[in-house]
Amino acid sequence: MAFWKLFALLLPLVRALHDDGVGADLYGWLGDTYEGGSSDDPGTRMVVLSWEPRIFLYKGILTHAECDALIEAARGRLERSGVSDSETGEGGVSEIRTSHGMFYERAETPLIERIERRLAKWTMLPAEHGEGIQVLRYQKDEKYDPHHDFFSFEGADSNGGNRMATVLMYLATPEEGGETVFPKVPVPQGQTREEFSECAMQGMAVKAKKGDAVLFWSIRPDGRFDGASLHGSCPIIRGEKWSATKWIHVGPYSMKEDYATEVHRVLYVPPPPPAVPGCENKHTLCQHWAESGECESNPGYMYGTKGRPGVCNLACNKCDLI
């Protein structure tokens, strides 16, 4: 009898989890398997792709019907995708990104709101920290060159702080190409040229599969930018790729600039040693560049050689070259 009393008390909670279309189908990422029929992938579960940087794959987080609905509502609103200048923050069209896309308002429709609640539960980050979902269409040869999602320009923290995490949802499966590649993550065993495009072999790559999603973190737990989160979308070789992106900030992100709140990262790292006289940063973005991995990727410019120092010797901890 005690069991049935307990069941009666918990039944409303169980129904609430099921009825909102969100909670029940996230059990898979805790190591369980949800078999309630809400996902087109019966093996719904989360896979750890990398711990450094932190990258996770969730198989079947969206149903095929949800993917189709997002695409159909976006078709008539597509425009050429733009990029933000790393130093000024100004947006514009560039050949490094050749897709077409559009933005939904946050909670614009019941479907959008339901998906945003689902992502909040998976990432354990509040829905209010996210920008509106951006839907993107990639056709033949269209791509997005490797880039970071965090910003370095002055004022990047003015609305909810910097971008902390990104969720990439795949709404359609291209026939060939279109992988998401992380060039600073080693190619794992089993990823071969027979199954992946040439572009994808630059680093660890994820195939775009309808209903799946990738979550990766642009900021480390200690508050530093994670330069290894560099990622790109490989060119489409055959077919068409549709994706949906959710960028999530450190703090609440306002959809209206009048209500934006500035939020700064807190760094939990030891302070640097005292600077050697004459060792300095000659550009205001040196620290950001160093966190992004530029000291390793572009040493000649960043810190130079003995007697011929670079622009950011202090940020790169290369004062011995002064």
pLDDT on residue 25: 52
Domain ranges of the chain: 12-259, 270-322
pLDDT on residue 144: 96
Q: Which fold has domain 12-259?
A: Jelly Rolls (2.60.120)
pLDDT on residue 26: 60
* pTM: predicted TM-score of the whole model, two decimal places: 0.84
pLDDT on residue 83: 87
pLDDT on residue 21: 44
As averages over each run of 10 residues, the pLDDT of the chain (322 residues) reads 46 39 48 38 73 94 95 97 77 90 96 95 95 98 96 88 97 98 95 97 97 96 94 98 98 87 88 85 91 91 94 94 87
Whether 207 contacts 91, CB under 8 Å: no
pLDDT on residue 20: 44
